Amino acid sequence: MRSMSVRASGSQGACRSRNPFFGVTPERALCMTAAGTVADEKLKGRKEAQGVRKRGARAWVQSFEEIPHTGKYGWVNLMKFWRQGYFRQLHKHMEGTFNALGPIYREHVGTQKTVNIILPSDIAELFQSEGRLPQRMTLKPWATHREIRQHSKGIFLKNGEEWRSDRVLLNKEVLMSSAVQRFIPLLDEVARDFCKMLQKKVEREGIGQKGKRSLTVDPSPDLFRFALEAICNVLYGERIGLFSSSPSLESQKFIWAVEQMLATTPPLLYLPHQLLLHIGASLWTQHATAWDNIFSHGRKGSWVERRGSWRPIPWANITELMAGGVDTTAVPLQFAFFELGRNPEVQEKVRQQVRTSWALADGDPLVALQGAPLLRGIIKEVLRLYPVGITVNRMPVKDIILQNYRVPAGTTVSVCLYPMGRSSDVFDDPMRFDPGRWSSGKGGQRISGFRSLAFGFGARQCVGRRIAENEMQLLLMHILLNFNISVLSTEDIKTTHTLILQPETPPKITFSKL
CA–CA dist 273, 280 (Å, integer):
10
Least confident of 70-84, 304-318, 381-395: 304-318
Query: What Rg do the C-alpha atoms of the chain give, in angstroms?
Result: 23
Q: Any alpha helices (H) in 135-280, and if so which ranges?
A: 140-149, 160-174, 177-205, 220-236, 249-270, 273-279
Three-state SS string over 224-255 comes to HHHHHHHHHHHHHCCCCCCCCCCCCHHHHHHH
> Looking at residue 487, what DSSP letter applies?
E
- Binding-site residues, please? 462
Q: How many residues are present in the chain?
A: 514
User: What is the pLDDT at residue 10?
Assistant: 38
Strand 509-513 with 214-217, pairing: antiparallel
Judge whether 119 and 426 are in contact, CB under 8 Å: yes
Q: Is the pLDDT of residue 361 over 50?
A: yes
For 471-513, write each residue's pLDDT tens digit. 999 999 999 999 999 999 999 999 999 999 999 999 999 999 9
Residue type, 327: D
User: What is the pLDDT at residue 33?
Assistant: 31
pTM of the model: 0.84
Judge whether 346 and 433 are in contact, CB under 8 Å: yes
Q: Is the pLDDT of residue 27 over 50?
A: no
CA–CA dist 125, 110 (Å, integer):
28
The larger pLDDT score, comparing residue 49 to residue 514, is at: 514
- 216: helix, strand or coil: strand
User: What is the pLDDT at residue 508?
Assistant: 96
Identify the burial level of 105 via C-beta atoms within 10 angstroms of its C-beta, where 0-12 means exposed, 13-18 middle and 19 or more buried. Answer: buried
Judge whether 173 and 309 are in contact, CB under 8 Å: yes
Mean pLDDT in residue range 197-215: 91
Mean pLDDT in residue range 408-437: 95
User: What is the pLDDT at residue 317?
Assistant: 84
Q: Is the pLDDT of residue 287 over 80?
A: yes
- 359: helix, strand or coil: helix
User: What is the pLDDT at residue 272?
Assistant: 78
Q: What are the CA-CA distances from residue 133 to residues 140, 160, 391 (Å)? A: 20, 6, 20
Which of 316, 326, 302, 298 lies closest to 227 in space, CA to CA?
Answer: 326
Residue type, 453: L
- 22: helix, strand or coil: coil
Which of 365, 420, 414, 419 lies closest to 391 in space, CA to CA?
Answer: 414
- Binding-site residues for heme, please? 462
User: What is the pLDDT at residue 447?
Assistant: 66
CA–CA dist 325, 342 (Å, integer):
27
User: What is the pLDDT at residue 249?
Assistant: 81
User: What is the pLDDT at residue 441?
Assistant: 55
Least confident of 89-98, 160-169, 247-256: 247-256
Q: What is the mean pLDDT of the chain?
A: 84
User: What is the pLDDT at residue 298?
Assistant: 65
User: What is the pLDDT at residue 59?
Assistant: 55
**Angle ∠(249,251,256) on CA atoms, nearest 5:** 95
User: What is the pLDDT at residue 308?
Assistant: 53
Residue type, 226: F
Which of 362, 339, 364 lies closest to 350 in space, CA to CA?
Answer: 339
For 214-250, write each residue's pLDDT tens digit. 999 999 999 999 999 999 899 888 788 888 777 778 8
In this structure, which CATH number among 1.10.3130.10, 1.10.630.10, 3.30.1450.10, 3.40.190.10 belongs to the domain 151-388+456-513? 1.10.630.10
Strand partners, 117: 104, 415
Judge whether 143 and 413 are in contact, CB under 8 Å: no
All residues at 6 or more sequence positions from 332 whose CB lies less than 8 Å from its CB, including other chains: 379, 382, 383, 386, 388, 472
Residue type, 287: H
Q: What are the CA-CA distances from residue 483 to residues 123, 245, 488 (Å)? A: 40, 22, 16
- The dihedrals phi and psi of 433, each to the nearest 5 degrees, come to -80, 105
Q: Any alpha helices (H) in 407-464, and if so which ranges?
A: 417-421
**Highest mean predicted confidence (pLDDT) among 50-64, 150-164, 315-329, 421-435:** 421-435
Residue type, 403: Q
The larger pLDDT score, comparing residue 6 to residue 464, is at: 464
For 299-341, write each residue's pLDDT tens digit. 654 444 555 555 556 778 888 888 888 999 999 999 999 999 9
Domain coordinates in residue numbering, the chain:
151-388+456-513
The larger pLDDT score, comparing residue 460 to residue 9, is at: 460
